[in-house]
Amino acid sequence: MDQDTLIALADRGYYKGEELRACEQAGITPLVPQPLTSNSKAKGRFDKRDFRYEADHDAYQCPAGERAPRRMSTIEDGMTIHVYGSSACPACPLRSQCTTERYRRIRRWEHESTLESLQSRLDERPEAMRVRRQTVEHTFGTLKAWMGATHFLMRTLPKVATEMSLHVLAYNMKRVMKIIGVRPLMQAIMA
């Protein structure tokens, strides 16, 4: 595409933290909304978005205004997770809205700032997801219509990837022919 910078847009929740980080390290700016599901919120309690991280202190500020410093760290699925908590929980008047345990704990991936900058970028570009939908959803709908109401013909990931690539190539060729015409396309290919 002859671009120095790339922005990658994906549908809500289609990411892993490590993949977002790999994008950033490769100079690609990812934009993907985070899932809105939260067990705590569903049960009427504060969820993580109600806690504000204070990088200067490496601590969270909780909804009661208490500081929750880092208590411990653990490794889960190869990711380092820091655990934060306030010692004020047992006497807190908001505890019933916060936790069913004696102490509320907040978990933070060591590279969680990647997810936080992702959310800030999305907040600055509220139109991004609408543009993504308008740009790519119809393409997949068209491809599906061309393929018909059936499954992929091939089996196993490498073969299915090849089949899909051929569909995408055919789609792109038809689009270019429609937009610039067959002759200019042939000239561009020969050049």
Instruction: List Cβ neighbours of 30 (8 Å cut-off, separation of 6 or more).
Output: 7, 8, 9, 10, 15, 19, 20, 23, 24, 118
Based on the shown chain and the rule CB under 6 A, indicate whether residue 81 belongs to the binding site for ligand SF4: no
User: Which two structure tokens, joined as six digits, stand for 138?
Assistant: 């119809």
User: Of 29, 40, 99, 142, which lies in the binding site for ligand SF4, with binding defined by CB under 6 A?
Assistant: 99
User: Of 18, 19, 24, 66, which lies in the binding site for ligand SF4, with binding defined by CB under 6 A?
Assistant: 66
Based on the shown chain and the rule CB under 6 A, indicate whether residue 83 belongs to the binding site for ligand SF4: no
* Phi, psi torsion values for 109, nearest 5 degrees: -65, 145
| Least distance CB 92 / ligand SF4 (angstroms) | 3
Name residue, tokens 């290919």: 189
| Least distance CB 53 / ligand SF4 (angstroms) | 13
- Answer whether 62's CB lies under 8 Å from 68's CB: yes
Q: Name the one range near ligand SF4 by CB under 6 A: 71-79, 82-90, 120-128, 182-190.
A: 82-90
Q: Name the one range near ligand SF4 by CB under 6 A: 14-22, 31-39, 90-98, 151-159.
A: 90-98
Based on the shown chain and the rule CB under 6 A, indicate whether residue 89 belongs to the binding site for ligand SF4: yes
The C-alpha atoms of residue 89 and residue 108 are separated, in whole angstroms, by 19
Which residues, numbered 133-152, are part of the site for ligand SF4 (CB under 6 A)? none
User: Of 9, 23, 92, 118, which lies in the binding site for ligand SF4, with binding defined by CB under 6 A?
Assistant: 92
| Nearer to ligand SF4 (CB atom), residue 23 or residue 89 | 89
| Nearer to ligand SF4 (CB atom), residue 8 or residue 94 | 94
